[in-house]
Amino acid sequence: MAHSTTLTPTGLPVAVPSTSSSSSSSSPSSSSRPSLPASARTAPKAAPLAKAPPVRLGWTGWFAALAWTVLGAITWFWPNLPVGFSDWAYTQEFAVAAWGVAAVLWLAVAWPQWLGSQAARLRSAGPWLGAIAVGLAVWEVYTAKLGTLPPPFFAPPQSLAEVYVTDWARLLDSAWNSLKLLALGIAIGASVGFVVGVLMGWSRSANYWIHPVLRVLGPVPTTALLPISFYFFPSSWSTAIFLIALGTAFPVAILTWSGVASVHKNYYDVARTMGASQWFLVLRVAIPASLPQVFVGLFMGLGAAFSTLVVAEMLGVKSGLGWYLTWAQGWASYPNMYGALIIMALLFSGVISLLFVLRDRVLSWQKGIVKW
């Protein structure tokens, strides 16, 4: 083996073995190495992942399926109590519908794999599905079977099916008119309230003049202003829009003002050091930081808008679900009134769900911070 001489930091020569190509000659040649079989040279394949077992519905599925089965049996086999000269329509159809829901649930309990990813959602909704069936069964027994809740003020569940089949056109038109009136009033009120809130939070002079007005007029129920509004507006339609907008604007303005005023001043200082203008501070700092409060104000304003809509339609507007309620009550058609109330609940719940979806999209960059 050859050596080379090198100097250490102390100046003394030290022999260091050199790595030359001759060292490779002392090792056995690659041709003399035994070759490995092909099976050993290939990397072992990863074992396939085991397929997750299907989610079973458990006792919640059994409970829901059994409850809907019992509901159908009560409706079909227990005769209705005679009411006047007629019987409740759609009784057998209601029983068949209940058995149809029960058949789907029994199928989901027996073969949960056909549900796929929806099995987990159905399992979480199982207690509610069973509770709905129990509630409908109690409703059916105390109205159609025993007559404990006297007609016409209380009607069995199958009477709602008759309402939706025979009067669906008027209900659909009323729901559409209510939705148009509600959307227009909320849009105007939310826009005005947002601008007023930003102005109050940013400008001290604007806050000086607007804040006392909101403190005095804001707590007043919008329905109390209905008689006065009829005098100032040419039609009941425009009066309803004004009152819905007023009920929405107040909480939006207050919460927007609170959100803009609570923005930390360090945000503004950092933006100013980078040369931000006043418009930039308002549009890109104050408003984005206050958006969580704005959506809380919108959520609060929806409640006032719903109540104002119904009262305005009952007293003045000649269309909508509120008008339908008054019309049904005048004719003592209580099943129609109950059917309108269910549609109203679904409509208003859908509007709130849309607000949640819009909030999640707009505030996606603040996910995890805003919680309702």
Tell me: the pLDDT tens digits for 152-175?
A: 788 899 999 989 999 999 999 999
**pLDDT confidence bin for 198, thresholds 50/70/90:** very high
User: If you average pLDDT over residues 172-179, what whole number do you get?
Assistant: 94
**pLDDT confidence bin for 40, thresholds 50/70/90:** very low
Residues 186 and 95 in one domain: no
**pLDDT confidence bin for 180, thresholds 50/70/90:** very high
In this model, does residue 101 exceed pLDDT 90? yes
Is the full-model pTM beyond 0.85?
Answer: no
Domain span at 211: 168-366
Top-confidence residue, 268 or 9: 268
Nearby residues of 343 by Cβ (< 8 Å), 6 or more positions away: 171, 175, 321
Q: What is the DSSP letter of 15?
A: E
**pLDDT confidence bin for 56, thresholds 50/70/90:** low
In a domain, 146, yes or no: no
Residues 209 and 280 in one domain: yes
In a domain, 34, yes or no: no
In a domain, 161, yes or no: no
* Residues 75, 94: Cα–Cα separation, whole Å: 7
Residue 16's SS3 state is: strand
* Residues 372, 359: Cα–Cα separation, whole Å: 11
Of 139, 156, 183, the residue that ends a domain is 139
Q: Tokens representing 234?
A: 């040419």
pLDDT of residue 55: 59
Residues 121 and 193 in one domain: no
239 contacts 230 by C-beta, under 8 angstroms? yes
pLDDT of residue 369: 57
* Residues 291, 67: Cα–Cα separation, whole Å: 45
In this model, does residue 8 exceed pLDDT 60? no
271 contacts 213 by C-beta, under 8 angstroms? no
Nearest partner of 207 among 250, 261, 153, 281, judged by Cα: 261
In a domain, 6, yes or no: no
Nearest partner of 256 among 207, 343, 213, 197, judged by Cα: 197
DSSP string over 41-70: HSPPPPPPPPPPPPPP-HHHHHHHHHHHHH
The answer to whether the bond into 152 is cis (omega within 30° of 0) is: yes
In this model, does residue 350 exceed pLDDT 50? yes
Q: Which long-range contacts (CB under 8 A, 24 or more apart) does 338-347 make?
A: 338/155, 338/159, 338/160, 338/163, 339/160, 339/163, 339/164, 339/167, 339/171, 340/171, 340/174, 342/160, 343/171, 343/175, 344/178, 344/310, 347/175, 347/178, 347/179, 347/321
User: If you average pLDDT over residues 119-137, what whole number do you get?
Assistant: 87
In a domain, 371, yes or no: no
Top-confidence residue, 152 or 257: 257
Nearby residues of 7 by Cβ (< 8 Å), 6 or more positions away: 13, 14
Helix (H) or strand (E) run with residue 180 in it: helix 168-202
Domain count, the chain: 2
Residues 74 and 199 in one domain: no
pLDDT of residue 30: 41
299 contacts 254 by C-beta, under 8 angstroms? no
- Phi, psi (degrees; rounded to nearest 5) at 361: -75, -45
112 contacts 119 by C-beta, under 8 angstroms? yes
In a domain, 18, yes or no: no
Residues 205 and 348 in one domain: yes
CATH code (residue 179): 1.10.3720.10
pLDDT of residue 368: 59
Residues 173 and 86 in one domain: no
In a domain, 32, yes or no: no
Residues 180 and 308 in one domain: yes
pLDDT of residue 145: 93
In this model, does residue 263 exceed pLDDT 90? no
User: If you average pLDDT over residues 342-367, what whole number do you get?
Assistant: 88
- Phi, psi (degrees; rounded to nearest 5) at 317: -70, 130
In a domain, 197, yes or no: yes
**pLDDT confidence bin for 233, thresholds 50/70/90:** confident
pLDDT of residue 45: 54
253 contacts 197 by C-beta, under 8 angstroms? yes
pLDDT of residue 367: 66
Residues 117 and 242 in one domain: no
In this model, does residue 46 exceed pLDDT 80? no
pLDDT of residue 94: 94
In this model, does residue 23 exceed pLDDT 70? no
Residues 318 and 193 in one domain: yes
pLDDT of residue 112: 73
Residues 352 and 226 in one domain: yes
In this model, does residue 43 exceed pLDDT 90? no
Any bridge partners for residue 7, and if so which? Answer: 13
Q: Tokens representing 143?
A: 């109205």
pLDDT of residue 86: 67
In this model, does residue 67 exceed pLDDT 80? yes
Residues 260 and 326 in one domain: yes
Residues 242 and 135 in one domain: no
